[in-house]
Amino acid sequence: MRRTPQSAKAKSEKLKLQRAQNRGEDVEISKKSQLPKFSRSAYLDPKLGKKKKAAEKLESTWQGSSNQEYVDQNEVIDSWYWHRPIPTHAAIWSQDPDDQQLSCFRRPKWNYNMSKKELETNEVIQFKRWLKFNDEALDKLQKQDVGVYERNIEVWRQFWRTCEMSQVLLILIDIRLPTIHFTNSLKKHLDLLTEKQNKRVIYVFTKVDLVPDDTAACWEAWLKSQLSSTDQIVKLSTYQVVLGEQGKGRRKPFIKPESMVELLTAISTAHASLKSACENVPDVDFEDVAKEIRDRIDTTAHPNQPNASTNPDIDQGDTLNSSSKVAKRKARKLGRVQAENKKGGPKRKGFDVAFEEVGSPDDQEEQEEEQEQEHGDENANNERTEDDVLTIGLLGQPNVGKSSVINGLFGSSKVRASSTPGKTKHFQTLYLANKVRLADCPGLIWPSTTPRWAQVLGSTVPISQERQPSRIVYEIGQRMPLENILPLAPESVLQKDEKEDKRTWREGMVRTSRREDSNTKTLEILERYSIRAGYMTAKAGRPDVNRASNFILRQITTSQFKWAYLPNGIELMDNSNGIYIVDNNSVAETQNDTSEEEDDEVESDESAAEEPQEESEAPADRNVRSAFELLNVDEGVDEGNSDD
């Protein structure tokens, strides 16, 4: 098919139109020629456009950096140095929060006489006032590199609904840096919920398996000093590394039995406190809940799936009625064949058996009983009311582990969990037991004065939205010895311009060499890492520093490099690793490798000493061969053998 001629102006307009359609915007099309022929745009499918717009409404938004800040940081990237050795106080979080004036957005007052439009308009007006108040408060502090907070009202609405429907709230806190997750704005909001709405709050430390026990104990003591004596604190680790295919580690949802008992005990204590204060709280037997959770985890860990190929006592009818995926697939296929045969369609080979002949009358009776039980369970679920169910809401910042806790309680993947912040877009409810319901709230960033680099380090802000990741790497490198952790190319790969020493020396002065700076240049480390990883720019072939910084940040946020801060007031001995947690196993392996290399060097030196003196007197150029000579080694050997 011939392509129609098109001007540059029409082509640019068509490209703008296509981009607008991909963003889900409403675009008026005057001509059919403006429509792309092979486009998967949301505009072509109205249903897809609505879904895309609904998803975009629930995306987290915040105020980004200006273009001038980006340009200024690019100009000074060559002057960034990591101070070495790392000071001891770098491992302690000593930044005092000055966010007493900041607050979380509370739902405005409303009544049942208001229409939907009036309610939403009032919420938007109050939300804009709240944003203006917080922005003015942050401007008065005059702090540089202040972090972001949630600026999307749809995400705050998900937060309101979760708080309103929950009697018990689990506040999840990352134990590696709890101060950025438990802010003053959140604390004030929780105090209002407990006083006016009679809520019960349980504080849960997540990712405990990533820090030493001493660090976890220090942060637990710090949190107790911030709370009252009646508040409860629980520590959880929600993943277990299982060896998968080809020896690769795979994370499996898992909560230790002692941690599970501790969490259920805290929930039962909060339930008893609610029961004594309010009569509308449902009766829940937590022993039965614990037994139900234990049985569910056992069934998911050891599923009973009969197989007709391995068990000869199972006939075809039992296989089709079993719960295996293969049996269900065969049953669906037989159902489709039966429907085609009734319509008079062509018969398929190998499927001449009618669907009624597959199961016996006893099997049909069992199926009818199972259907009655399923309908009875559905009716029981439909008969539930809000007063008959204890709802437990999970709140926290993005990527703190809310969905992972739910998967760990069920022992399987019930909700989607990801290392990328903002995976959960809408609050979702799941029944943990007959009268216990879990509510998973989307993560939102609380208003605070936390620096932006600390939010990226805590994985609350997506790395993909950072305009200059090298700036974040520079800040983290001040507190972590990245030059010793990352695999780097040798320094000789960098082309350095050696500056000539133009100092004058008079008579009587001692000639000295320039003092080498003990600090490490950030740009050189990133370039060496880029060369080692093969990250080069497409046109100029220079080391791609931004891509290397992006990959380093992803390694840190996904816990490939373990790190943790300590609370203020802790006295430390000399620590040159900063917040980096050294793995003893890896240290032992590296020590063994270095000792083996030293032994090999000693053996090679001894063998060289035993060689005759004539070979030692040979010129040094004999051992130095170019790359082309190394490629022709085999040919030289063959020629020598042929002469003999």
Most confident of 314-318, 484-488, 567-571: 484-488
Confidence class for position 77, pLDDT limits 50, 70, 90: confident
Q: Are residue 197 and residue 288 in the same domain, yes or no?
A: yes
Rounded to an integer, the average pLDDT of 395-418 is 87
Spatial contact of 462 and 455, defined as CB atoms under 8 Å apart: no
> 51 in a domain, yes or no?
yes
User: What pLDDT score does 349 carry?
Assistant: 43
Q: Are residue 39 and residue 165 in the same domain, yes or no?
A: no
User: What pLDDT score does 202 carry?
Assistant: 96
User: What pLDDT score does 425 carry?
Assistant: 73
Closest CA to 472 of 555, 355, 569: 555
User: What pLDDT score does 67 carry?
Assistant: 64
User: What pLDDT score does 283 carry?
Assistant: 86
> Quick check: 346 pLDDT over 60?
no
Closest CA to 524 of 477, 581, 559: 477
DSSP character for 392?
E
User: What pLDDT score does 643 carry?
Assistant: 46
Q: Are residue 228 and residue 110 in the same domain, yes or no?
A: yes
> 231 in a domain, yes or no?
yes
Rounded to an integer, the average pLDDT of 197-222 is 93
Signed CA dihedral, 571, 575, 578, 579: sign only: negative
- What phi and psi, each to the nearest 5 degrees, are found at residue 597? -65, -40
Confidence class for position 508, pLDDT limits 50, 70, 90: confident
> Quick check: 586 pLDDT over 50?
no
> 281 in a domain, yes or no?
yes
Closest CA to 445 of 428, 468, 413, 422: 422
Which helix H or strand E contains 56, and what residues bound it?
A: helix 46-57
Q: Are residue 36 and residue 111 in the same domain, yes or no?
A: no
Q: Are residue 204 and residue 265 in the same domain, yes or no?
A: yes
Spatial contact of 43 and 21, defined as CB atoms under 8 Å apart: yes
> Quick check: 177 pLDDT over 50?
yes
Q: Are residue 34 and residue 125 in the same domain, yes or no?
A: no
Q: Are residue 121 and residue 179 in the same domain, yes or no?
A: yes
> 599 in a domain, yes or no?
yes
Spatial contact of 471 and 453, defined as CB atoms under 8 Å apart: yes
Give tens-digit pLDDT for 133-142: 999 998 888 7
Q: Are residue 170 and residue 226 in the same domain, yes or no?
A: yes
Spatial contact of 209 and 239, defined as CB atoms under 8 Å apart: yes
Contacts 24+ apart (CB under 8 A), 216-225: 216/175, 218/566, 218/567, 218/570, 219/175, 219/178, 219/567, 221/567, 222/178, 222/567, 223/173, 223/178, 223/182
Q: Are residue 153 and residue 214 in the same domain, yes or no?
A: yes
Confidence class for position 245, pLDDT limits 50, 70, 90: low
Contacts of 165 (CB under 8 A, 6+ apart): 386, 391, 393, 439
First-to-last CA distance in the chain? Answer: 69
Number of folded domains that form the chain: 3
Give tens-digit pLDDT for 142-164: 777 788 899 989 999 999 999 99
Spatial contact of 151 and 444, defined as CB atoms under 8 Å apart: no
Spatial contact of 281 and 167, defined as CB atoms under 8 Å apart: yes
pTM of the model: 0.71
> 162 in a domain, yes or no?
yes
Q: Are residue 107 and residue 52 in the same domain, yes or no?
A: no
Which helix H or strand E contains 628, and what residues bound it?
A: helix 627-631
Confidence class for position 44, pLDDT limits 50, 70, 90: very low
> 192 in a domain, yes or no?
yes
Confidence class for position 436, pLDDT limits 50, 70, 90: very high
DSSP 206-238: E-GGGS-HHHHHHHHHHHHHHS-TT-EEEE---
Most confident of 261-275, 307-321, 495-509, 569-583: 261-275
Spatial contact of 320 and 331, defined as CB atoms under 8 Å apart: yes
In sequence order, the β-bridge partners of residue 543 are: 536
Q: Within 13 Å and on the Cβ side, how many CA atoms surround 612?
A: 3
Rounded to an integer, the average pLDDT of 168-176 is 95
> Quick check: 592 pLDDT over 50?
no
User: What pLDDT score does 48 carry?
Assistant: 43
Most confident of 42-51, 71-80, 115-124: 115-124
- Strands 81-82 and 520-521 turn out to be antiparallel
Q: Are residue 146 and residue 45 in the same domain, yes or no?
A: no
User: What pLDDT score does 383 carry?
Assistant: 58
Edge-to-edge strand order for the sheet containing 390-395? 232-235, 200-206, 168-174, 390-395, 436-440, 428-431
Q: Are residue 154 and residue 240 in the same domain, yes or no?
A: yes
User: What pLDDT score does 371 carry?
Assistant: 54
- How far apart CA 549 and CA 353 sit, in angstroms, is 62
Of 197-206, 312-321, 374-383, 540-549, minimum mean pLDDT range: 312-321
User: What pLDDT score does 316 carry?
Assistant: 40
Backbone φ/ψ region at 129: left (φ over 0), alpha (ψ -120 to 50), beta: alpha
> 151 in a domain, yes or no?
yes
Spatial contact of 399 and 421, defined as CB atoms under 8 Å apart: yes
- How far apart CA 488 and CA 484 sit, in angstroms, is 9
> Quick check: 191 pLDDT over 50?
yes
- Measured CA distances, 564 to 92, 111, 479, 561, 606 (Å): 9, 47, 11, 10, 46
Residue 191, SS3?
helix
Most confident of 235-239, 335-339, 492-496, 611-615: 235-239
> 273 in a domain, yes or no?
yes
Which is more confident, 81 or 315? 81
Per the structure, the complete domain to which residue 38 belongs is given by 8-57
Amino acid at 322: S
Average per-residue pLDDT for the chain: 75
Rounded to an integer, the average pLDDT of 497-521 is 67
